[in-house]
Structure 1
Amino acid sequence: MKKSKVFYGWWIVLGAAIVLAVMGPASVAVANLFQLPVTEEFGISNSQFAISNSLVLGVGIFLSPIISKKLATGNFRLIYSIAVIVYALAYMGFGFAPNIYVFYLLSLLVGFGYTTTTIIPVSMLMNNWFVKKRGLALSLSLSGLGIGGVIFSQILTPLINNVGWRQTYLIYGVIMLVVTLPIVLFVFKPRPELMNLKAYGTEELNVSNKGDKEQTQAKRKQATGTKTGITPFFILLMLGAVLVGLVNNGGLGQFPPVLNSLHGATQGALIISIYSAVGIAGKIILGNINDRYGTVASTIYASVLLVLTYLVMIFAGNFVLAIIMAILFGLGNAIGTVSPPLITSAIYSADDFPKAYGYVQSGVQLGMTVGSLVAASIADFTGTYTVSWIFLAIASALVGLSWVAAYRTSQKHV
């Protein structure tokens, strides 16, 4: 087979970024754009609508290990394609829902689709296609989440206002099918071996920096094997996964109302847009740090940024400090999406990665599901968000400690 000048894995990266830009925001970044019109028509509270979002994320807690295993052992593209169709049809189903209870049922299907078409399969693709530059490939792919959030927030808002929320759900569902399904069917290849290729960097034996040394250790585990099971490093890995979901969604869920109350809707929206935009670059920066300096360095870097984020947030009544907080959060928050598959691949062999990462993503989903609720509940109980921010700063530090300890401990088993 004639070799292309561009390694095919980079086309996988481009396709993954597009898929995530379309599929990811629907269940997270833009989901609440529908809240006001839906609650008004159904005559329900905001919290009743929020149950739908919790169901979407909560599905991943239970299904992530199963889905990860099925994608690894079954027909990857067939499973992926079916999930895209289910996701899109269920999302369109929102537009026909007669009441909130049908919304809840559809949310379970949407949750299945979101879990099966976004971070898990993309992380598996990057792990299969890249040995060298894995962090960069993954971060470029995941940047699609932020880019899609920006694009669809601009598209959906006028659509909801002009054609209504029901038609907008239908339009978004059609976009999912038209854009994503061809990429899954014709661009994605589960493994490079299917194209008589090898993963990027496989043949490079001479390494020159710490990041590459970790990748070499990972290749050794192909033979020796760091098996999945209830080990000390697995427990530490899972603890960090739950905590990283908690600290990420604690901020994402509670920053908007707090910033709006401190600075008003206009300036609050500006601060939110800053950390959303910085977050796109933050993923790429974190992936590059992982490639150049290794898993330990990238984990410490991101967790320190999150600690600083929540400490600065205590003084966010000052607008300048609120801007600084937004920049720190945009850079550090990448740990929630980029780091889980990278720390997992640094610990486990390629064969064990799908099973281990399924559990890790389940932990992240659990933390995300309760993160915003925990932060809000602490504030309600204590009467101030200051305690919430201190709690999340401590939790951010524990993310770094637990994941670094998990990696160090795992090396004794290689």
Structure 2
Amino acid sequence: MSNKKIFYGWWLVAACVLIMAILHPLITTCWGLYVKPITKDMGFTRSSFGICSTIISGVTVFLSPYLGKWLANKNTRLIHIICVVGLAASYASFALAKTITHFYISAFFMGAFSCGAVVLPISIVLTNWFVKKRGLAISIALAGSGFGGAIISPIMANIIQNYGWRMSYLIFAAAMLIISLPMILILKKSPEDMGLKPYGADEVDATTQKTASPKVEFNMTLEEAKKHGFFWIYLFGMFSLCFVGFGSLSQLAAFLADAHGSAFAAAVLSLFLIFVTIGKISLGWIYDKFGTRIGTSYICIVFALSITCMLFPQFKPLMYVMALLYGLGISTGTVCPPVITAAMFGSKHYGEIYGYVNLSVYLGAALSVPAIAIIYDKTGSYQVAWLLCIALIIISFIALLYSDIKCRSLIADRINMEQSNRQTSV
């Protein structure tokens, strides 16, 4: 009988799955279910209500660099708990809103706390715990948003229909606390806190001992990264990709409801969220198995095809195909940034660098949500918005591949220089 225990990092992955399952859908995927009932009840335009998402993302943009550093260098668990409690309180405050200004104030605080409550702490913790299968571990954790959203979406639609959108805010704010806080207590910042090594570290050590040219992780400081043009191109690529992801997702429920009714929208939303789970886990595996270039190529092609399907909303069967492709493609906004960042820049200074990556992610979100809503308000359809999204996916694909090639070239030059210096000294 084997006495080998399950590596503790996998328990952290399970805890992160539940955190993502409750928090992420409520502030992103399922947020679109509020668009029609709130704008109809309060008399707002979709673009004016969409500013709430802009404020949430805008606050995140400014706080990400600071929270990335704080979460990496200070009491991660305490900061995480404060942010989750603040996020739940902010979410509940929407139930009390009487004017659009009140919505905007609630959105401000929701953005401030969401920055340190969801993806950022999860990606920092899991990057510390995994060397091998890092992409898979992070993608499994982030996949929690898929099955969580699939469960929450029909429940939220039913609550809004039968009890109103205000009650929905209160119920799900309570759910945030009940599910998330116990899971945060399980999280440990790094394996060293428990006298352990990161998953796969022993294999790296063994390789180092056996080979004359060991494979080591390349680590770049934030200050050094800023000096290279490919870093800024990489941030722009992430901005473009997340502009499409957050912008299209914010209007997906309303887009489907306009075409075929709210019941059909909720059904397709649940279907697509099931595919999100598959998409995120498979994307992490693809990144681990085939590398960032193939993984990025695959996901950008799938995402572009899903948006292309949206150009033909009148065809109901095509919307189910869209749900499949979109469920796989939307993984770009959650899996791509942490996995590619760790692969390119290493884990040693990951928190500080990812703070800037998170800034570009939420800058894309801040600008995209109102932009797509404004396009709808001006044209009466989403056609122009979807064409813009397809173009941005292509631009992002080029930017991410270019930055990856340049970064790998720099790494190769560094390795060659180190080997040359080693041979000279011998």
TM-score (normalised: structure 2): 0.85
1:53 aligns with 2:53: yes
Q: Give the structure 2 partner of residue 350 of structure 1.
A: 347
CA contact (8 A) 1:56 1:111 kept: yes
Displacement of 1:131 after TM fit? 1.1
Q: How many corresponding residue pairs?
A: 404
Per-residue CA deviation, residues 347-400 of structure 1 (Å, 9 max, x unaligned), is 112222111111111111111222244345556777875544333222112222
Q: Give the structure 2 partner of residue 337 of structure 1.
A: 334
Distance change in 2, residues 1:284/1:226 (3 Å): farther
Displacement of 1:302 after TM fit? 0.3
Counterpart-to-counterpart distance in 2, 1:44 and 1:386: 22
One of 270, 273, 297 as aligned partner of 1:273: 270
Displacement of 1:66 after TM fit? 1.2
Q: Give the structure 1 partner of residue 93 of structure 2.
A: 93
1:382-393 correspondence runs (5 A): 385-393=382-390
1:361 aligns with 2:334: no
1:131 aligns with 2:131: yes
Q: Give the structure 2 partner of residue 173 of structure 1.
A: 173
Counterpart-to-counterpart distance in 1, 2:311 and 2:214: 41
Counterpart-to-counterpart distance in 1, 2:313 and 2:38: 32
Residue 231 of structure 1 aligns with an amino acid whose one-letter code is H
Alignment RMSD (CA, Å)? 3.0
Residue 59 of structure 2 aligns with an amino acid whose one-letter code is V
Q: Give the structure 2 partner of residue 213 of structure 1.
A: none
Structure 1 unaligned runs (5+)? 209-215
Counterpart-to-counterpart distance in 1, 2:17 and 2:88: 18
Distance change in 2, residues 1:375/1:173 (3 Å): closer
1:70 aligns with 2:70: yes
Q: Give the structure 1 partner of residue 419 of structure 2.
A: none
Q: Give the structure 2 partner of residue 306 of structure 1.
A: 303
Secondary structure in 1 aligned to 2:188?
coil
Q: Give the structure 2 partner of residue 211 of structure 1.
A: none
CA contact (8 A) 2:221 2:349 kept: no
1:251 aligns with 2:253: no
Distance change in 2, residues 1:358/1:92 (3 Å): same
Moved more, 316-325 or 329-338: 316-325
Counterpart-to-counterpart distance in 2, 1:91 and 1:178: 14
CA contact (8 A) 1:343 1:403 kept: no
Secondary structure in 2 aligned to 1:273?
helix
1:91-240 correspondence runs (5 A): 91-185=91-185, 187-205=186-204, 219-222=216-219, 227-240=224-237
Counterpart-to-counterpart distance in 2, 1:228 and 1:413: 11
CA contact (8 A) 2:19 2:144 kept: yes
CA contact (8 A) 2:292 2:340 kept: yes
Counterpart-to-counterpart distance in 2, 1:347 and 1:133: 15
TM-score (normalised: structure 1): 0.87
Paired-residue identity, %: 34
Moved more, 302-311 or 8-17: 302-311
Secondary structure in 1 aligned to 2:143?
helix
One of 286, 289, 295 as aligned partner of 1:292: 289
Displacement of 1:204 after TM fit? 1.3
Displacement of 1:167 after TM fit? 4.2
1:321-336 correspondence runs (5 A): 321-336=318-333
CA contact (8 A) 1:94 1:106 kept: yes
Displacement of 1:93 after TM fit? 2.7
Counterpart-to-counterpart distance in 1, 2:214 and 2:249: 35
CA contact (8 A) 1:135 1:342 kept: yes
